């Protein structure tokens, strides 16, 4: 009965989110809207930071409440730290370094939630925004300060590429990305944000409810900057005095007009949290870049004719040696096996890469080690829940319910219109059915009530100013 009550309450919140009158919100919802298509929730937000936040919190109140509900027990079980710990770290470590603009937006989210009857405060929302950097960068740093072995490790999420010049069908930029994460969180990674801020560039990106940046990082802005990334496996450093990664990532997508702008913003007061290989494209020039950002080490590679790929491996030798424990010699690891597959596919499809082919690349399920179709932890589109090996370097045990949860692609023409193609669920596998999985893998029984079915959905086009079809 308790579970039914929670679900019923969330349904009421969701229904209320599209019915509340402007009078109830003091006019702050004017110009904003939401609709659902193929499992995605599209939200249009516009205005000053506090207004953006209010619209975000109000329109996605049910989804934010649900994500907070499952995240608290999930993190406590997997990281051995409770929500109180993350709230305190958010207040003490992160909030003083959040730019005033984004403090206003976060407080706006809290106000929007309150307008829908959802009880969550500033520290809940800051901790939610730091869902990557607090558990997997701050926690192991803190363990080290106390002379303890790390209780968590940096994640290894995503398979991505960017290509241009002789590698693409029309010589212009094509970008693709699929998001690897736990299915508990990943099934809820289903928001398309169309953000028209008071200052800076217009943004279209995917994201999580309650989070001000994309976080798996796939987006484009009105200056023609195309952005994605993959995380660096085995990264070990963190600077609590630095600026939160979620702040810098949102700021860079909103204010950068060039690749150099993006690099500069991400380097400002860098805290090393959520260390990534950023794949960038400038649609104005056709130039692409690989910006690898650790803590003290970083590197930038750029070209107008070539490609860059990411599957959670570090590139720069010095960064690899000084800031990670990554095993470059383990060909069978998830990161290295997927890298080998990327290189095969880029060579095979040189001159033919377009948005349609990008969809198939991000859906590729081939295992280069076993030389057969997966999907598993070594395929570009991954299903770790099918692998008895798991991914120990990410703290994912045997048959861990994690892997590819959604995918996105765009080409230069689409980027010019602030448009992308997106697909929810496994683009390489059938629906994930939670009850069937939990029946077969009782060791994950603690996820009952957190883990939901994850349906494989069709690729869907989204663009700025999109409205619900009548």
With residue 115 as reference, give the H or E element that holds it: helix 100-115
Over the chain (470 residues), what is each successive 10-residue block's mean pLDDT?
42 43 75 98 99 99 99 98 99 99 99 98 99 98 97 95 99 99 99 99 99 99 99 98 99 99 99 99 99 99 99 99 98 99 99 99 99 97 98 98 99 99 98 99 99 98 94
Are the C-beta atoms of residues 325 and 175 closer than 8 Å to each other? no
For the four alpha carbons of 93, 275, 360 and 432, in that order, the dihedral sign comes to negative
**Widest distance between CA atoms in the chain:** 62
Give the number of residues written for the chain.
470
Q: What angle separates helix 100-115 from helix 49-59, to the nearest 10 degrees?
A: 30
Global pTM? 0.94
Are the C-beta atoms of residues 140 and 237 closer than 8 Å to each other? no
Two tokens, residue 306: 């070539």
Are the C-beta atoms of residues 381 and 178 closer than 8 Å to each other? yes
3-class DSSP string for 350-419 = CCCECHHHHHHHCCCCEECCCCEECCCCCCCCCEHHHCCCCEHHHCECCCCCEEEEEEEEEEHHHHHCCE
**What end-to-end distance do the CA atoms of the chain give, in Å?**
37
Report strand pairing: 419-424 vs 402-411.
antiparallel
**pLDDT value for 10:** 46
Are the C-beta atoms of residues 25 and 54 closer than 8 Å to each other? yes
Cβ neighbors of 259 (< 8 A, separation 6 or more) are 225, 280, 282, 287, 289, 291, 302
**pLDDT value for 24:** 59
Q: What angle separates helix 245-255 from helix 100-115, to the nearest 10 degrees?
A: 100
**pLDDT value for 157:** 85
In the chain, the domains with their CATH numbers are 2-30+47-145 (no CATH), 159-463 (3.60.60.20)
The neighbouring-strand residues paired with 302 are 289
């Amino acid at each position: 009965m308790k579970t039914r009550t929670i679900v019923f309450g969330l349904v009421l919140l969701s229904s209320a989110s599209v019915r509340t009158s402007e009078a109830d919100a003091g006019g702050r919802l004017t110009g904003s809207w939401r609709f659902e298509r193929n499992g995605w929730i599209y939200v249009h937000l516009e205005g000053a930071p506090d207004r953006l936040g209010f619209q975000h919190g109000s329109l996605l109140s049910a989804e934010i409440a649900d994500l907070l509900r499952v995240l608290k027990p999930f993190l406590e079980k997997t990281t051995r730290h409770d929500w109180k710990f993350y709230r305190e770290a958010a207040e003490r470590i992160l909030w003083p370094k959040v730019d005033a603009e984004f403090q206003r937006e976060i407080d706006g989210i809290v106000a929007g939630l309150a307008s829908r009857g959802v009880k969550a405060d500033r520290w809940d929302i800051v901790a939610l925004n730091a869902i990557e950097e607090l558990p997997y960068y701050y926690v192991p740093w803190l363990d080290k300060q106390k002379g303890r072995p790390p209780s968590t490790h940096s994640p290894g999420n995503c398979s991505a590429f960017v290509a241009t010049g002789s590698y693409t069908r029309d010589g212009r930029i094509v970008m693709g990305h699929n998001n690897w994460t736990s299915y508990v969180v990943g099934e809820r990674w289903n928001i398309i944000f169309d953000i028209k801020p008071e200052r800076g560039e217009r943004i279209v990106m995917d994201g999580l409810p309650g989070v001000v940046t994309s976080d798996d990082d796939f987006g484009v802005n009105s200056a023609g900057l195309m952005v994605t990334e993959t995380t660096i496996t085995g990264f070990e450093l963190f600077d609590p005095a630095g600026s939160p990664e979620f702040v810098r990532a949102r700021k860079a997508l909103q204010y950068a007009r060039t690749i150099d702008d993006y690099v500069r913003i991400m380097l400002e007061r860098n805290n090393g949290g959520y260390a990534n290989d950023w794949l960038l494209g400038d649609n104005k020039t056709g130039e692409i870049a690989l910006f690898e950002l650790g803590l003290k080490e970083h590197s930038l590679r750029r070209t107008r004719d070539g490609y860059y790929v990411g599957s959670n491996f570090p590139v720069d030798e010095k960064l690899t040696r000084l800031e990670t424990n990554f095993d470059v010699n383990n060909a069978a690891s998830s990161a290295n096996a997927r890298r080998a597959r990327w290189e095969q596919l880029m060579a095979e499809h040189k001159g033919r890469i377009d948005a349609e082919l990008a969809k198939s690349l991000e859906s590729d399920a081939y295992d280069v080690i076993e030389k057969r179709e997966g999907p598993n932890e070594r395929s570009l589109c991954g299903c770790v829940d099918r692998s008895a090996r798991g991914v120990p370097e990410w703290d994912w045990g045997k048959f861990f319910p994690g892997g590819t949860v959604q995918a996105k692609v765009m080409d230069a023409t689409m980027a010019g219109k602030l448009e992308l193609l997106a697909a929810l669920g496994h683009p390489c596998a059938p629906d994930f059915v939670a009850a069937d999985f939990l029946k077969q893998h009782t060791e994950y029984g603690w996820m009952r009530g957190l883990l939901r079915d994850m349906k494989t959905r069709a690729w869907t086009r989204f663009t700025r100013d999109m409205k619900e079809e009548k």
